[in-house]
Amino acid sequence: MDIRAQVAMVFHLDKCIGCHTCSVSCKNVWTDRPGAEYMWWNNVETKPGTGYPTLWEDQGHYKGGWKVNGNGSGNGNGKKLSLRSQNKLDAFIKLFYNPNQPGLEDYYEPWTYKYQDLFDAPAGDDQPTAIAISQVTGEPMAIEAGPNWDDDLSGTTLYAENDVNLEGLSDEERDQLFEIQRVSMFYLPRICNHCANPSCVASCPSGALYKRGEDGIVLINQEVCKGWRACVAACPYKKIYYNWKTGKSEKCILCYPKLETGQIPNCFHSCVGRIRYLGVLLYDADRVADAMTVNDRALVESQRSILCDPYDPKVVELAKANGISDEFIDAAQKSPVYKYVMKWKLALPLHIEYRTMPMLFYVPPLLPVMGKLDNGRYENIMDGFFTSLEQSRLPMKYLAKMFSAGNEEIIESVMKKLMAVRYYKRSLELDDLDLVSISRMMREGNLTPEEAEEIYALTALPTTYDRYVLPPIQREEAISGTCSPELCKGECGLSFSESAKRGL
């Protein structure tokens, strides 16, 4: 066993209100530079929807993540993972032209406005206007897409119906999903998953990408990066972006300069809905690649199997032997992420079938149909408790495609537990449910009253330091060269002190 620590994350989707404050706070610090205008290291998507970049989940086109080679089934039976985007030889041809790349048109062309025209326009009959100017060419442009272009457009044929995750849904289910009166949607905030089995790192021909041993943050060394963009193709989440001005790839750095000084990353700190949790997970690095070779349906369980119990004395001993500090182990024991992912099994990885073992987990949204409008009157549907689950506006199949590689049982058990917590708390507050049905519900949801109270407390009442349990993190060597983000705003912002000028 090779125990490693990872700073992992949980996003509670039931709590996300889609305000994009996280995206804006990230952009303002890290990506308001020339060449990075189009990048959103943190973005919030409307689901069902096509996302950013458009249709990023379509791996038939982008070829991100890993595929399994070899025969046999189960753990490590002669199966090997290989990159879907390239092998070691065709990677050399792809240096010259990479066919699986998103282009600027798959994101959007960034623009600003010619504000000076508002002041300089001569007096006339019309209001002066500021026309849109491309931030790439500096020329006037017609705006065809922008950040969050399909925000809240879940009913549209143009965006939502092209969602890759709808594959496999029957026509009836689709109709039900897009029936305009009951159209439903939820928000999916996305940052880099800081995967335990990162395909971007494996794909980099120059070896510029690396995973930090102490905290698992995945970074790109800007001095080594040659801008070959193999990582952009290999990352199935399209969370690596190419800076067209510096010729380097860039990605979410989990605000490591903030983490290293005991501060909370921007997108976490600014989260209005308080949906985000940050904490340490311990995992067995030796078994990562093997764990990702199992069948799709077993992947979620397989990932859980390599996450270690931080209270297990044997794990603690091995972790210490591996140089993990007492403070880190302490943080792992208090980790809210461990509770959501392992203790309660409520948080699931996004698209685990890409087999990169993401370390960002999502509590799937209930989108509850606890009641409906009938003849203008709101009516509770209370019979049978879980009937509403089957009638859920978003088909289980859709959620399973996103969060459990198609395994609906896992989603259902999460939903049952989430719902049981609600009914349990309701029965305490309002006392309008009989004890027999509540206990049946708790049994079906595999929930004890103590656990329900715990889940309730961490979901609804957590303080900042309940949500973010930060370990003391070793400073990145290069940080001495980092200029303060406040001082060089709009110029560099990354782990080098040069501004984004190449000169040659």
Partner 1 sequence: MIDSFLYIALPYLAIVVCVIGSIYRIRSRSFTYSALSSQFLESKSLIWGSLPWHIGITVILLAHIVAFLCPSCWQNLMSHSQVLLAVESTGIALSIVSLLGLLVLLVRRVTSPKIQSVTTTMDLVILFLLIFQVALGLDMAMRVHWGAFWAAGTTSPYVWSILTLQPDASYVAEMPLSVRAHILCAWLIVLLIPFSRLIHIFAAPFDYLLREPEIVVWTNPRRIESATETYEAQESKRHFVTGLWLIAAGAFLFSLGTVQNIFKFFFGPRLSQKEEEEIMEIRLKRLQATAEQRKLELEREASDYILVAPLSELTKTTGKYFIDYEMHAALAFVDDDGLPNLLSAKCTHLGCTVGNQVNGEGKIECPCHVSYFDIHTGVPSAGSPAKEPLPLLGWVLMDRQGKVLASQSPAGKRTGNVSADSLKEANVYIAKKDKEATT
Site string for partner 1, 456-495 (x = CB under 8 A): ------------------xxxx------------------
Least distance CB 424 / partner 1 (angstroms): 43
- How many residues touch partner 1 under the rule CB under 8 A: the total is 57
Q: How far is CA 124 from the centre of its chain?
A: 50
Asked if 216 and 285 count as a contact pair (C-beta separation under 8 A), the reply is no
DSSP for 260-281 reads TTTPPPHHHHT-SS--EEEEEE
Q: How far is CA 143 from the centre of its chain?
A: 28
Q: Indicate the residue among 105 and 117 with the shorter CB distance to partner 1.
A: 105
- Judged on CB neighbours under 10 Å (0-12, 13-18, 19+), 99 is exposed
Residue 228 is a binding residue for partner 1 (CB under 8 A)? yes
Select the span of 182-190, 217-225, 296-304, 395-403 touching partner 1 (CB under 8 A). Answer: 217-225
Residue 103 is a binding residue for partner 1 (CB under 8 A)? yes
Q: Indicate the residue among 289 and 367 with the shorter CB distance to partner 1.
A: 289
Residue 503 is a binding residue for partner 1 (CB under 8 A)? yes
Residue 386 is a binding residue for partner 1 (CB under 8 A)? no
**Pick from 246, 388, 427, 459: which binds partner 1 (CB under 8 A)?**
246
Residue 239 is a binding residue for partner 1 (CB under 8 A)? no
Least distance CB 41 / partner 1 (angstroms): 17
Pick the closest to residue 351 from 102, 159, 66, 38 (CA basis): 66
Q: The tokens of 219 are what?
A: 């970074």
**Pick from 325, 413, 437, 482: which binds partner 1 (CB under 8 A)?**
325
Select the span of 89-97, 397-405, 410-418, 458-466 touching partner 1 (CB under 8 A). Answer: 89-97
Indicate the SS3 state at residue 254: coil
> d(Cα 219, Cα 221) in Å, to the nearest integer?
7
Q: The tokens of 314 are what?
A: 């044997």
Select the span of 92-100, 117-125, 185-193, 458-466 touching partner 1 (CB under 8 A). Answer: 92-100
Longest dimension (CA), the chain: 80
Q: Indicate the residue among 139 and 383 with the shorter CB distance to partner 1.
A: 139
> d(Cα 370, Cα 241) in Å, to the nearest integer?
41
**Pick from 60, 138, 313, 376: which binds partner 1 (CB under 8 A)?**
138
**Pick from 76, 128, 207, 384: which binds partner 1 (CB under 8 A)?**
207
Q: How far is CA 2 from CA 78, 126, 196, 285, 462, in A?
A: 21, 70, 13, 5, 33
The CA-based angle 396-399-403, given to 5 degrees, is: 135
**Pick from 120, 126, 139, 429: which binds partner 1 (CB under 8 A)?**
139
Residue 390 is a binding residue for partner 1 (CB under 8 A)? no
> d(Cα 72, Cα 233) in Å, to the nearest integer?
28
How many of the other CB atoms lie within 10 Å of CB of 148?
A: 19
The CA-based angle 57-58-59, given to 5 degrees, is: 100
Residue 284 is a binding residue for partner 1 (CB under 8 A)? no
Asked if 474 and 464 count as a contact pair (C-beta separation under 8 A), the reply is no
Asked if 283 and 342 count as a contact pair (C-beta separation under 8 A), the reply is no
Least distance CB 334 / partner 1 (angstroms): 20
Residue 98 is a binding residue for partner 1 (CB under 8 A)? yes
Q: How far is CA 444 from CA 230, 301, 304, 404, 418, in A?
A: 46, 19, 21, 20, 11
**Pick from 71, 97, 172, 432: which binds partner 1 (CB under 8 A)?**
97
Q: Indicate the residue among 204 and 447 with the shorter CB distance to partner 1.
A: 204
Element (H, E) at 28: helix 21-30
**Pick from 6, 148, 193, 222: which binds partner 1 (CB under 8 A)?**
222
Q: Indicate the residue among 244 and 456 with the shorter CB distance to partner 1.
A: 244
Q: Indicate the residue among 66 and 362 with the shorter CB distance to partner 1.
A: 66
342: left (phi over 0), alpha (psi -120 to 50) or beta: alpha
For partner 1, the binding residues in 159-198 under the rule CB under 8 A are: 197-198
**Pick from 70, 74, 78, 104: which binds partner 1 (CB under 8 A)?**
104
Residue 227 is a binding residue for partner 1 (CB under 8 A)? yes
**Pick from 322, 333, 413, 437: which binds partner 1 (CB under 8 A)?**
322
Residue 88 is a binding residue for partner 1 (CB under 8 A)? yes
Residue 323 is a binding residue for partner 1 (CB under 8 A)? yes
- Asked if omega into 53 is within 30° of 0 (cis), the reply is yes
DSSP lists the bridge partners of residue 88 as none
Least distance CB 317 / partner 1 (angstroms): 15
Distance linking the first and last C-alpha atoms of the chain: 48
Q: Which amino acid is at 101?
A: Q
Please give the residue ranges that form the binding site for partner 1 (CB under 8 A). 88, 91-93, 95-99, 101, 103-104, 136-139, 197-198, 201-202, 204-207, 209-214, 222-229, 242, 244-248, 322-325, 474-477, 496, 498, 502-504
